[in-house]
Each structure stands twice: as structure tokens, then as C-alpha cells.
Amino acid sequence: MELVRSTIERYVKLTDLEWVEVAPCWQGRSFAKAEFISKAGLVEPWFYIVEVGVQRLYFQHDGSEHCLGFSYGGSWSGDYDSFVRQRPGRFFVQAVTESMLIGIKHPELLKLYDRIPAMERFGRLILEELIIGRATREIEQLSLSAEERYRRLVQRSPGLLQLVSQKDIASYLRMTPETFSRLRAKVL
């Protein structure tokens, strides 16, 4: 539970009394490699912090998978869009490696928002972070060359190259696997 508290406290500080109310709402859940954490068409009941492992977020279109991102130790995971709206999701979240996630269910988080003002602020700050991250990614996709996108990924998340398939990383970077392979050989 220390991971949950330290992750929340990157955004807001909780008193020990508030933490006593927050801690029991979070539960550990484990997922095997390749197991689905969320599936398109289903409502996402959980919001997660990654304790161990790597997951990928993707959607399917015209018979192809399009990777939107990865989550790993200390980051958020799940279909946040479906979680917030409580409507069927458009995304799949799949464990790339064996994963241990610590999650909170939607009704529990809403109760905490109502009871603890710092938790409501926490929710707003996460949403702001996710929106800023999405905007940054869109700008990078439209304005950077394939090589620049690859170099940024290596700078931000060098460990992903050993854990995630080249096909998924290429999809995330919006390039063909062949282009990715050439860049990887060139930049190494």
C-alpha cells in the first residue's frame, strides 16, 4: 500500500486519518502475461496503479491493432476513458508481462471524492496530467520525424525495448515494423 500512498501524494498530501479511509479501497490484482485487463465493449470498473509489469493500451480498426501507449511500474493503467464515463470502452488493455496492479473501483473512488477534498483534487490533477500527456503525444506524432519519435521513446522509457514487441512499439510510434527495425539498428 506504500506505492498507493506515495503515488497519490505526488499530487496531494493526505493526513494519516484520511489515509486510514483511503487505503482499504485499493486492492491488488494480478494478471498473467497476455491476459486482458480491460476489453473494448465493456465498462471499466477499475483504475489502477502498476506495481509490477508492463501493459499496453490499444484499439482495433480495420482488422489491425493500433497501440496508444504502455504503462509500467508506478504509472496509471486501465481504460480511463471508460472508467470516468462508466460507458463501454473503446480500448483493450493487455498485460505484456506478468503484472501486479493495485486498483480502486469506480464507486469507491467517487465516495472518496465526496468525503475527502484532497482526493477530489487528486482526481482532477490526474485528469489534467492525462490530457497534457495526450496533447504532447499528438504534437510529437504530427511534428517529429520517425527517428525523433524513436529517440524520445528511448529517452523516456529505455526499458520498454526489452519488454515489448517491436511490432507494438512500431505501432505506438506510428511506423512500420521495418522502419522501426532500421531505426533501432541505426540509433544503437
Determine the Cα–Cα distance for residues 53 and 70; give it in Å rounded to an integer: 10
Judged against a pLDDT cut of 90, whether residue 84 lies above it is answered with yes
Task: Tell me: do 153 and 120 sit in the same domain.
Answer: no
pLDDT at 69: 92
96 part of a folded domain: yes
pLDDT at 85: 95
Q: What is the mean pLDDT of residues 20-35?
A: 97
Determine the Cα–Cα distance for residues 132 and 49; give it in Å rounded to an integer: 19
Last residue of a domain, one of 80, 96, 127: 127
Task: Tell me: do 66 and 107 sit in the same domain.
Answer: yes
Q: What is the mean pLDDT of residues 110-123?
A: 96
Determine the Cα–Cα distance for residues 86 and 76; give it in Å rounded to an integer: 18
Domain extent at residue 51: 2-127
Q: What is the mean pLDDT of residues 37-65?
A: 96
6 part of a folded domain: yes
> Cell numbers of 43, please?
465498462
137 part of a folded domain: no
Task: Tell me: do 59 and 116 sit in the same domain.
Answer: yes
Q: What is the mean pLDDT of residues 41-49?
A: 97
Taking all residues of the chain, what is their mean pLDDT, rounded to a whole number? 93
Task: Tell me: do 123 and 152 sit in the same domain.
Answer: no
Q: What is the mean pLDDT of residues 125-140?
A: 91
Task: Tell me: do 120 and 155 sit in the same domain.
Answer: no
Task: Tell me: do 20 and 84 sit in the same domain.
Answer: yes
pLDDT at 188: 65
Q: What is the mean pLDDT of residues 95-105?
A: 97
Task: Tell me: do 106 and 166 sit in the same domain.
Answer: no
* Cβ(21)–Cβ(127) below 8 Å: no
| 93 burial level (CB within 10 Å; 0-12, 13-18, 19+) | buried
Residue with the bigger pLDDT between 22 and 137: it is 22
Residue with the bigger pLDDT between 58 and 74: it is 58
Last residue of a domain, one of 127, 162, 179: 127
Q: Structurally, how many domains does the chain consist of?
A: 2
pLDDT at 157: 86
Cβ count near 166 (within 10 Å): 13
Determine the Cα–Cα distance for residues 148 and 22; give it in Å rounded to an integer: 41
